[in-house]
Chain A
Amino acid sequence: MAQAAIELIGINKSFGAVRANRDINLEVARGTIHGIVGENGAGKSTLMSILYGFYQADSGEIRVGGKPVSIHTSNDAIALGIGMVHQHFMLVDNFTVLENVILGAESDALLKSSITKARSELDRLEREYGLEVDPDAVIEELPVGLQQRVEILKALYRGAEILILDEPTGVLTPAEADHLFRILKQLKDQGKTIVLITHKLREIMAITDTVSVMRQGTMVATRTTKETTVGELAELMVGRRVLLRVEKGQSEAGAVKLSVKNLTVKDQRGVTMVDNVSFDVRGGEIVGIAGVAGNGQSELLEAISGIRHAVSGEVMLDGKPIDLTGKADPGELRDRGLAHVPEDRHHVGLVLAFEENENSILGYHDDERYLKGPFLDVDAIMADAKDKIEKYDIRPANPRLKTANFSGGNQQKIVLAREMEQDPGVLIVGQPTRGVDVGAIEFIHKRLIAMRDQGKAVLVVSVELDEIRSLSDRILVMFAGRVVGERGPDATEGELGLLMAGVEHQEAAE
């Protein structure tokens, strides 16, 4: 084994009563890509923050390049050649790339020499690692993929030999993620050491040399990537066997509950996002809509759920039309038995500053179950929230806790519980498991299938192909606003991938 770039020995860290890290030992070999996986709250980020000097460990030792070091501030870490790419970029949005790169690493009190130096240095980094980005571009005008590249450049400019990336692909499109991986491999070839924190096992398998698994603040295992499997890692992460593909029986499709005919939707700029789309969803089946993000799925969901106007077309709910001109508000549709789990739970699905119990009735707060005369019936709401917490295993089981303090997976469960427990006839779900842990994914999938088995019509939109294939009874593929194909659940990944890329569609058009 190559010499260790970083060794962490017996690291402990507590926040109040919570032990975020317990006796962590970790060794990362020089010139490798080392993955760290674990569910949200497993202590990955805390561990890396200790390494980067954001927090101090309560006890334990850090060695960099074999020498014991003490890291008290980010400056110490930077001086030791450790660079970090944060999950939420640490960039000043209205600064240029150049200004962001030199911030904190200026050579003297005036900027002139730093700027000259940074320009030539960026030029070199661009040539060596293929990290091209315009040094004079303003950050907020760059796509996220490029913003992330600026973060990497920042670290390299400061002479980082060890690069920590915290959930780097969460905000990237698949193509951008692939590009990132190519860059990381190139960095590795140049002798840099990379630590990759993620909960996406697929990425771990694709790019890392070794992988360590964390669970509830402890380091449970370290494996050579080639010798492990996704199944084993998932099991180590959750602490029990996880079904990556949920078992489900044959669907018994009943009457048509949701019918979409010739629906066309334009966005704010007047661009046609949904183009003459028609399909039916029957009771007792899950219809999955696959597609690369940005091909009209979001707009389709918004139009059906009454958030966005449609230009033309018809949507029938239980045989009766929905007003698509914007007069049907989501509340009216809810009353008619259409429940909607939005794609973006932070902006649409939840009020993060509210307590859990408030979010668990949001939108249904006019329901007489939750009212006592003109007032909210707080006791009924609390009882209802507690009931949902138990049924959906929402943790921590505290209905008074601020929603922002729940993990992503538990926030998603709050939204799902709210919508599913209303016993809707039609459930439409956008990105059911975005930013959700492996264990919670299994749970959510099981609930969706249970809904189907109760005879509900379920429409799922997801950019995760695995998820679509595992859940759906029928798969529709969207490309450039159109439905370009329908397949059964046994369609291969390659077949769907081609449809998603619009290949078959173009051939047919020619």
Chain B
Amino acid sequence: MDMFNAIVQVLDSTIRLSVPLLLACLAGLYSERAGIFDIGLEGKMLVGAFAGASAAAVFHSALIGLGTAILISVAFALVHGFASITHRGNQIVSGVAINFIAAGSTIILGQAWFQQGGRTPALQPGERFEAIIWPGAEAIRDVPIIGPIYAELISGHSILVYFAFAMVPFTWWVLFRTRFGLRMRAVGENPAAVDTAGISVAWLRYRALICTGILTGVAGAYLSMVQNGGFVKDMTAGKGYIALAALIFAKWKPVNAMFACLLFGFLDAASIRLQGSPLPLVGKVPAQFMQALPYVLTVILLAGFIGKAIPPRAGGVPYVKER
């Protein structure tokens, strides 16, 4: 039974750890499906996390925090759009610039506003998103198998966790069942076809980037207002890049994206769980090795275990009307 409980606990933290990846990955999916590479997911998450925690601490409201996180993150997404859609700039350069600005400005502003070495004040209850306990969760906790699964895995997460997983079928539905999704997929493959069909390429891509901004904003808010009780500098710690890797791994499909993020989340959870405890055969493994595992796996997976991943064909190329 101990073994079973341990597994449930690892799976529970898998879910918690994969949420920011999943949100960022779906965010990237919107922009890349529309033909805009977005290496700035990391930066947008970071400003979202900072803005969310700051606003929540100042206004004593989790919802205001979330709203602010989304607002600021969308604003950064629009900057990326202005550079890469309107001015046809290099999308990678623009994304990297956003990451730099995010990393620097959050520390400077954090220090200027709160004088806590770049941190935001610790969030009090009511300023964070609390776990939602499902009806009957406590009552059946002791029922074997089903009890822990219901109480630990399904119940007891914050609203943002449920939102993240709900976004998977929703994104699929948007992509494949709506006019916006059809046009967005088309503009990522052949913008000229969209243009000659009488649809604005730029407006379509801007809208996709707004979706990206909303989702990275939520991802950031999750980091600073759910996982952590406040903002810590550089708290995204490369999650935006892992999300990009997961997006390629998932071949730009929403359901695949969920599984890819769960896998990366699981590795993360397992590495935390196994730190310090001896493994069969190999014995005690340094913590650093376990922490490096998700990244090593990313390299191995992307190096060829996933078959051919074909990105949206017009990705990274600014659209210029041909003569």
A-to-B contact residues, CB < 8 Å: 15, 46, 52, 54, 73-75, 78, 84, 86, 88, 90-95, 99-100, 102-106, 108-112, 114, 154
Contact = CB atoms under 8 A, between A and B. Distances in A.
Contacts of A111: 176-179, 181-182
B179 A90 contact: no
10 contacts: A52-B196, A54-B196, A84-B196, A90-B197, A95-B189, A102-B182, A103-B183, A105-B197, A111-B182, A154-B197
A93 B193 CA distance: 10
Contacts of B87: none
A52 B182 CA distance: 23
Interface in B172-186: 176-183, 185-186
A346 to B, nearest CB: 16
A104 B177 contact: no
Contact of A104 (B180, B189, B194, B313): B194
B198 A74 contact: yes
Interface in B153-202: 176-183, 185-186, 189-190, 192-199
A92 B190 contact: yes
B199 A109 contact: no
B308 interface: no
A329 to B, nearest CB: 30
B229 to A, nearest CB: 41
A109 B179 contact: yes
Contacts of B196: 52, 54, 74, 84, 86, 90
A74 B194 CA distance: 10
A88 B182 CA distance: 21
A106 B189 CA distance: 18
Contacts of A86: 196
B198 A106 contact: no
Given A54-B321, A104-B198, A105-B197, A90 B182 contact: no
Nearest to A49: B323
A324 to B, nearest CB: 33
Contacts of A92: 185-186, 189-190, 193
Contact of B179 (A15, A73, A84, A108): A108
A78 B198 contact: yes
B138 to A, nearest CB: 42
A221 to B, nearest CB: 26
Contacts of B180: 109
A167 to B, nearest CB: 14
Interface of B: 176-183, 185-186, 189-190, 192-199, 313, 321, 323
A406 to B, nearest CB: 14
Given A74-B198, A75-B198, A92-B186, A110 B179 contact: yes
A91 B193 CA distance: 6
A138 to B, nearest CB: 12
Contacts of A54: 196, 321
Contacts of A95: 185-186, 189
Nearest to A106: B179
Nearest to B180: A109
Contact of B197 (A46, A103, A114): A103
A92 B195 CA distance: 12
Contacts of A94: 189, 313
B208 to A, nearest CB: 16
A103 B185 CA distance: 10
A86 B321 CA distance: 14
Nearest to B181: A111
Contacts of B198: 73-75, 78, 104
Nearest to A78: B198
Given A103-B183, A104-B183, A90 B190 contact: yes
B12 to A, nearest CB: 37
A154 B194 CA distance: 12
Contacts of B182: 99, 102-103, 106, 111
A6 to B, nearest CB: 19
A157 B185 CA distance: 21
A507 to B, nearest CB: 48
Contacts of B323: 15, 46
Contacts of A15: 323
A123 B186 CA distance: 24
B178 A90 contact: no
A93 B177 contact: no
Contacts of A102: 182
A73 B196 CA distance: 9
Nearest to B192: A90
Given A74-B196, A91-B193, A103-B182, 18 more contacts: A46-B323, A52-B196, A73-B198, A74-B195, A78-B198, A92-B189, A93-B189, A93-B313, A94-B189, A94-B313, A95-B185, A99-B186, A100-B193, A104-B183, A105-B197, A106-B182, A110-B177, A110-B178
B177 A112 contact: yes
Q: Which of B181, B186, B195, B313 has the most CB of A within 10 A?
A: B186
Q: Which of B183, B192, B321 has the most CB of A within 10 A?
A: B192
Contacts of A78: 198
Contacts of A109: 178-180
Contacts of B194: 103-104
Contacts of A52: 196
Contacts of B177: 110-112
A111 B184 CA distance: 13
A235 to B, nearest CB: 28
Nearest to A105: B197
Contacts of A110: 177-179
A84 B192 CA distance: 13
Top 4 nearest A-B pairs by Cβ distance?
Answer: A104-B197, A75-B198, A90-B193, A74-B198
Nearest to B193: A90
